[in-house]
Chains A and B, each alone.
Chain A
Amino acid sequence: MKKINKLALFANKSNQRLFTTILVILVLYVLMTILDGTGNLSSLMKGLLVPVCAYSLVAVGLNLCVGYLGELSLGHAGFMCVGAFSSAFFSKAFVGIIPDVPRFILSLLIGTALAALFGFLIAIPVLRLSGDYLAIVTLAFGEIIKNVINVLYVGVDSQGLHFSMKDMMSLGMEPGGKIIINGAQGVTGTPRQSTFTISVVLLLLAIVITYNFVNSRTGRAVKAIRDNQIAAETVGLPITKYKLIAFTLSAAIAGVGGVLYAHNISSLTATTNTFGYNMSIMILVYVVLGGIGSFSGSIIAATILTLLPEMLRGLSNYRMLIYSVVLIMLMLFNWAPGILKWREAHGIKNFKSILKSKNTKEVQ
């Protein structure tokens, strides 16, 4: 069974792209591991390996939504947030009760499942809207998730779980109880289990799943709906079902990114920059800059844009200024009709054609 699959896999072009992507990631992984092993990797770079993978995962998830479902979501940081907090909650609650490895696997499953559940629940009302209205509603949902987590207090003692939306005192905990989610202070002391290896494995898994999804029967239906909803409806495709599937999968992948993120930092808080609209926008920047509809492009953009501010650290205060100028220039260089014409005339190759797969359409 496996052999046949492997042979068939090389048969079409999109699978070749998939294998190139996987190969490049594996080569980079080996390179980074060797650099790390020989002590050539600065601690700054080492600290960025897992976040790069986490952001890449969320970007891949959002790209599924923007590139294939054709809907602009500004709330994917919310799904990342759900994945991060639910998994951190589970890991911290069961530390010392379940051994490390199965606990991490379980927390990964719980984080992914809850993010998918939230994606599903939010998608039901949201997908009735379209365009900018859909974007603003996803933004609103993301902000609500962030806000609610900021006032959530959860503790555990011998009598079970205690919830409160007010403060730590109103939990009514026994003296020996353990506070897990502490309002705006978030979750502290999550076991740091996200290693680079696990991150890369999850990233590869997500890429394989999304590539297969967009080329499956369901994926083709989703693309058909994106290209012409009325035509798709006319041939009898159940629009809502396919939209829900794509959005839920997109949220689930963002959730995986959140799980990785949560298990990499010692203090998990939900602020505007970590899980608010700023993060959603950041992820959208990765997706658009990498090429809408191109998963490998999203990963490249996420990697470069995460590393760029760190590499510019020597310039201290100017680094974010330079970052923003680079962002504006890149967008103009890649999209402005006038500049595209100039580039064609001077034979400068179109980056977009490298990063962007052919069968996608931009969101209008």
Chain B
Amino acid sequence: MGFLTYLINGLSLGSVYAIIALGYTMVYGIAKMLNFAHGDVIMIGAYLVFMCTSNAGMPAIVSIVIAMGCCTILGMIIEKIAYAPLRKATNLAVLITAIGVSYFLQNMALLIFGSNPVSFTSVIPWEGLSFAGGQLKITGNALITIVVCLVIMVVLMWFVKNTKPGQAMRAVSEDRDAAVLMGINVNATISLTFAIGSGLAAIAGALLCSSYPSLTPYTGSMPGIKAFTAAVFGGIGSIPGALIGGLLLGIIEILAKAYISSQLADAIVFAVLIIVLLVKPTGILGKQIKEKV
């Protein structure tokens, strides 16, 4: 029973990682850049939800929608100001700019909200299910998180496969120059990608802080790094890869915490990542691109 509980907790944490990893993997697939500031957008989203629910007394759903709207706009503004001018510059320059944006968001939050952790009230007011006479408990947080993650995945995969903007995204990620020749507005497509990724970040922030309620300006950075790891783990650029990578990472982390050592859990997660990448250098679902002379 203990094992099952850990497994479900792992799936729940993994679902959060998967939603965050989506933001990384889509932006990487389309703009070919590592958006290091993504983790901090999560933190901003969580703070917005916190302000709406705890300070303004709004219902959870409304506050999440507001946070999603704000984060979407924030993501697009960041893209326009900081990343779009560097579209043709080297990847490393964009990476450092993204780091600058990450510092900016963290310190902005530090100024506005202060460094003391605030206690986040869960957006899911449901006790959850109880099986086998209370031996196996599935919290509402865990269950809803997993369901939300799966719904997002299905909707997003449908969106990318079947809609015009989704097809444009795939085209840009495959060959940007050819996409331009086909009349696709690359700038708008990249903007849309940032908008979707940042909107999802707000949901991820709310779900993450529902399970781990201590919220500080630095809350987003470690889950951000881990979700990025998850994206690479599953094969960066692939949406199902983000799901698999995120879930595996969450399960490994929780099981390592439970059975081996809570302090070494992160080290174990990263060690598994290294082993996977050495066996399959482009991640679990990544495509192998042949090198041509």
Contact = CB atoms under 8 A, between A and B. Distances in A.
A324 B107 contact: yes
Interface stretch (B11-19, B91-99, B125-133, B166-174): B91-99
A161 interface: no
Interface in A294-322: 317-318, 320-321
Interface stretch (A100-108, A139-147, A208-216, A219-227): A139-147
Residue among A66, A129, A136, A277 with the most chain B CB within 10 A?
A136
A328 B85 contact: no
22 contacts: A129-B277, A133-B277, A136-B277, A137-B277, A140-B271, A143-B267, A148-B264, A230-B293, A284-B96, A285-B99, A288-B93, A288-B95, A292-B92, A320-B103, A320-B106, A328-B104, A332-B85, A332-B86, A332-B97, A337-B89, A362-B92, A364-B91
Contact of B264 (A129, A147, A317): A147
A150 B281 contact: no
A22 interface: no
Give the interface size class of chain B: 35 or more
A321 B108 contact: yes
A338 B84 CA distance: 10
Interface string B259-275: 00101101100110110
Interface residues of A, number: 50
Contact of A328 (B82, B106, B270): B82
A327 B99 contact: yes
A contact face: mostly helix, strand, loop, or mixed: helix
Contacts of A362: 90, 92
A151 interface: yes
Interface stretch (B154-162, B179-187, B228-236): B228-236
B96 A144 contact: no
B291 interface: yes
Interface string A326-340: 011001101111110
Nearest to B34: A132
Contacts of A325: 100, 104
Contact of B261 (A151, A281, A339): A151
Nearest to B293: A230
A138 B106 CA distance: 24
A200 interface: no
Interface in A85-144: 125, 128-129, 132-133, 136-137, 139-141, 143-144
Contacts of A230: 291, 293
B266 A147 contact: yes
A128 B279 CA distance: 10
B96 A327 contact: yes
Contacts of B281: 128-129, 133
Contacts of B97: 327-328, 331-332
B88 interface: yes
B125 to A, nearest CB: 33
B104 A136 contact: no
Contacts of B225: 139, 277
Contacts of A181: none
